Amino acid sequence: MKEVTPQVELIAETKMDFEHLQSYLDSIGATEYEPQATESDGESLVMAAGKACYRSWQPGLNPNVTRTRHDARDYIGNIINTGHGSVLEHSSVSFLIYNVSRVFTHELVRHRVGTAFSQESLRFVRLVDIDFWIPQILKDEDNEAGEGVALIKEAVEYLESVQEKLAKIYEIDERKSFAIKKKLTSAFRRIAPIGVATCIVFSMNLRTARHLIPLRTSRHSEEEIRLVFSQIAEILIERFPHIFQDFHSRRVGGYKEWYAENASQPYDKSDYELRNLERQIEKMEDSTGDD
Ligand SMILES: Cc1cc2nc3c(=O)[nH]c(=O)nc-3n(C[C@H](O)[C@H](O)[C@H](O)COP(=O)(O)OP(=O)(O)OC[C@H]3O[C@@H](n4cnc5c(N)ncnc54)[C@H](O)[C@@H]3O)c2cc1C
């Protein structure tokens, strides 16, 4: 058994094609619009999508628009404030998340909207070594002799040896048929612990990211998913500062708990529900459209 820690890598994100955007802008006579150099492509796309809605690239293109915002922070801040969240769906990110358990992946794949998943197949990939993350709570609350963690390691090592023994008993390496190998591999995985470390490629759009970060870093979420989503939050908030401009954190139970001023849904009734409802009603009353 090898003890591991959950890891997150941002492996892909939305890229703009400014040349083709310019072709469109030329066709409508929008000569003044220039994406800001400080924006990430994902944020430029959100702005472009929003501006396409109202033809608000510059004043005069739409006679109803006399004033336009160009500063990304102001523009995207207004989108978030007014709840025009669908434009955030154009930009997406992909993570490779590894050294995570099937406890984590099972919770992650419950998120259906704006997500995509490709999970390591334990039907194909035979378990030899079992890598395992030991939750901090099991270390913090262990007895002085450390018997809890020792027992866990012993159990995982035993299950690892069972995999090896099963492979020998069923002579899996000698099998010619890949179909049989696959069936046996899939059958053996039933004896692996649910904490076995594995990997998953996880993509989501940035509207979904705004929904999931508060939900999955909340104190009410499981330790491993909090640990992973606190890494995701750090990466995305740095990469897309305008889209996450209203995010704040506080430390609860050893991890950062993130919350959004303009959350689409309240996460902690006592703290946010009333505040958010009041704010949403105010905004609906004040909202005058894009710019
Ligand atoms: C702290 C915590 C504890 C949990 N405990 C359990 C548990 O004990 N057992 C269990 O089974 N699950 C549990 N879950 C998982 C939870 O029930 C959800 O399945 C999971 O969080 C997915 O989130 P979501 O509903 O926001 O869906 P997502 O797929 O992330 O969807 C995003 C949003 O889109 C909207 N939406 C999505 N689908 C629909 C739809 N079909 N109709 C209408 N609107 C929709 C909703 O507004 C939803 O919030 C827990 C989750 C958390 C965070």
The pLDDT tens digits of the residues spanning 56-110 come to 999 989 888 888 888 999 999 999 998 889 999 999 999 999 999 999 999 999 9
Nearest Cα neighbor of 260 from 231, 223, 219, 217 is: 217
Above 80 in pLDDT, residue 278?
no
pTM of the shown model: 0.89
Residue of 73, 70, 174, 198 whose CA lies nearest to 124 = 198
Whether ligand 1 lies within 6 angstroms of the CB of 226 is answered as no
Q: For a pocket test of ligand 1, which of 107, 110, 257, 259 has the largest count of ligand atoms closer than 8 A to its C-beta?
A: 110
Counting beta carbons within 10 angstroms of the beta carbon of residue 17, is it exposed (0 to 12), middle (13 to 18) or buried (19 or more)? exposed
Q: What tokens were used for 104?
A: 């984590």
216 is catalytic: yes
Residues ≥6 apart with Cβ < 8 Å to 185: 122, 123, 124, 125, 126, 127, 172
Q: What is the pLDDT of residues 12-57, one digit of tens each?
A: 999 999 999 999 999 999 988 887 767 799 999 999 999 999 899 9
The number of angstroms, rounded, from the C-alpha of 117 to the middle of its chain's C-alpha atoms is: 11
Distance CA 232, CA 211 (A): 13
Catalytic residue of the set 69, 126, 216, 226: 216
217 lines ligand 1 (CB under 6 A): no
User: Partners of 203 in the beta sheet?
Assistant: 94, 116
From 109, 112, 206, 213, the mutation candidate for ligand 1 (largest count of ligand atoms within 8 A of CB) is 112
**170, 74 Cβ separation under 8 angstroms:** no
